[in-house]
Amino acid sequence: MTAMSDVTVLLLTFFMLTSTFIQKEPVSVSPPQSVSEVKIPESNIVSILIDPNGKVFMSFDNPKDREAALREVGKAYNIDFTPEELKKFSLLPSFGVPIIGMQKFLGLSPEDQDKVITNYGIPCDSTDNQFKIWMQTARQVWSERIQDVVRENPELAARKPQLAIAIKADANTPYPLIRDIMNTLQELREQRYNLITSLRNAPAGA
């Protein structure tokens, strides 16, 4: 039995060290396959999740950014969020409700939030492009935070931190929906971004 115990402890250690926890996503999305082997950066990343019906969800990797972003976006729409609401929001892994309904959404229990979030998504049509405002704010709060970080640790400046934008869209999303998102990013002068894919083996001899 001792040997068996040794093996299991070893396996456990291995799994704990090598793997990362799966991020909870409001909708399940299966990205298209690609031969590209570039890995996504670990931090400083804004991810955009697009489901097959074109619903858009976003997530920031830093809780502080989330809080600051909500405050800024709230200001743009003349909504004052209470500190509790900001705190609650910073704990959400990803978000995607229209800003008008945000306060009501934050008041719900986590179980109810999971249930209703699939009905929403960030509005991103031309009449009320909240996605654009979120994206703008994300860039703004991120650069403010990074400036502070660099001021405290000047040696980090040489590394030139960059905010990466990752788009994770379902393989069956119609192209016009992707195009709208890409156009919005282009309007914001965000030309470089990552499209998340799943790995397909490269063909031999190509």
Partner 1 sequence: MAEIQENGNGGGRKKGKQKKITIRVDFTPMVDMNMLLITFFMLCTTMSKPQTMEISMPRKDVKDESEQDKLKASEAITVLLGKDNTVYYYEGLPSENYENTSLMETNFSAEGLRAYLLRRNASIATKAAELDTRKKNLEISDTTYNRELSELKKEKGAPAVVIKASDFATYTNLMDVLDEMLICKIGRYSIVDIEQGDLFLLKEFTKDDSYVVHQEVIEVYEEQ
Question: Least CB distance from residue 141 to partner 1, whole Å?
Answer: 23
173 binding partner 1? (CB under 8 A): yes
Helix (H) or strand (E) holding 164: strand 164-169
Closest CB to partner 1 among 42 and 155?
A: 42
Among 15, 51, 59, 64, binds partner 1 (CB under 8 A): 15
Cα gap 45→65, rounded to integer Å: 11
CB 132 within 8 A of CB 77: no
Query: Contact at 8 Å (CB) between 132 and 188?
Result: yes
Q: Strand, helix or coil at 80?
A: coil
Q: Would you say 162 and 139 are in contact if contact means Cβ atoms under 8 Å apart?
A: no
Nearer to partner 1, 158 or 206 (CB): 206
- The token duo for 122 is 């960030």
Could you tell me the smallest distance in angstroms from the CB atom of residue 71 to partner 1? 29
Complex with partner 1: residue 5 or 153, whichever CB lies closer: 5
Q: Is 160 in the site for partner 1 (CB under 8 A)?
A: no
d(Cα 95, Cα 11) in Å, to the nearest integer? 35
Please give the Cα distance from 77 to 110 (Å, whole number).
25
Between CA 69 and CA 122 the distance in angstroms is: 14
Q: Which is nearer to partner 1, 107 or 110 (CB)?
A: 110
Q: Does 161 bind partner 1 (CB under 8 A)?
A: no
Which among 99, 50, 97, 51 has a CA at the least distance from the CA of 71? 99
- How many residues line the site for partner 1 (CB under 8 A)? 58
Structure-token match 């743009």, residue found: 76
Contact pick of 39, 80, 119, 160 for partner 1 (by CB under 8 A): 39
Site string for partner 1, 186-205 (x = CB under 8 A): xx-x-xxxxxxxxxx-xx-x
Binding residue for partner 1 (CB under 8 A) from 25, 27, 31, 63? 31
Q: Catalog residues that contact partner 1 under the rule CB under 8 A.
A: 1-2, 4-5, 8-9, 11-12, 15-16, 18-22, 31-40, 42, 166, 168-176, 178-179, 182-183, 185-187, 189, 191-200, 202-203, 205-206
